[in-house]
A and B are shown apart, each in its own frame.
Chain A
Amino acid sequence: GAVVSQHPSWVICKSGTSVKIECRSLDFQATTMFWYRQFPKQSLMLMATSNEGSKATYEQGVEKDKFLINHASLTLSTLTVTSAHPEDSSFYICSAHSGGYEQYFGPGTRLTVT
């Protein structure tokens, strides 16, 4: 099956700093990528939809200036958490969509803000 990678798999940063998370589709071109946030024992919350070459579409309640998304190529999308605070600590998961009905998920990135 298709493979999606994320980097880093976990990161610890200090409050006020910015963190960039990469999502790559390794063996297919992803027309659309999605960013999710997952709190412990909770479901996935869709944050934004990222389309290659255009601006991301953010879900209601998600601060676009805080969570910057760039989808510069058909195989790479990045999520930058700017001026991170402890409440941004979470598990961030990306998925990639190749145009069919399946989404392929990355392994997730655990962000801890101290």
Chain B
Amino acid sequence: GEDVEQSLFLSVREGDSSVINCTYTDSSSTYLYWYKQEPGAGLQLLTYIFSNMDMKQDQRLTVLLNKKDKHLSLRIADTQTGDSAIYFCAVASSGGSYIPTFGRGTSLIVHP
């Protein structure tokens, strides 16, 4: 089955950019997502990218996809303390009935 790997922690200073990385194993992955989870809450879909895209930008968020290396990244520009949360990478493919497989999540800590 699909494996999705993320680093567990990232610490940045307020105002800096954050880059959260994710790798996956299934080259047929079609939909790639980034979710945000704040303490005690459910998951909020931040953004997604299709496998036929290399990059997607949405305000402060930039998603980069390297299909050859099966590497996905999320860049948050001008990181704020309110961005502190756990960020989950998830990928889905037709072989998996489009049910996403989640990584373990990256805990982003933003220091003032």
Contacts and interface: CB of A to CB of B under 8 A. Distances in A.
Interface string A34-52: 1000000111101001000
- In the complex, which range does the number of interface residues on chain B fall in? 20 to 34
B40 A108 contact: yes
Contacts of B48: 101-102
A60 B92 CA distance: 19
A24 to B, nearest CB: 13
B104 interface: yes
Interface string A16-43: 0000000000000000001000000111
Given A43-B104, A101-B31, A101-B48, A34 B99 contact: yes
Contacts, number: 43
Contact of B88 (A1, A43, A108): A43
Contacts of B31: 101
Contacts of B92: 101
A contacts with B: majority SS = strand
Interface in B1-52: 31, 35, 40-45, 48
A111 interface: no
Interface of A: 1, 4, 6, 34, 41-44, 46, 49, 93, 95, 101-108, 110
Interface of B: 31, 35, 40-45, 48, 88, 92, 97-100, 102-105, 107
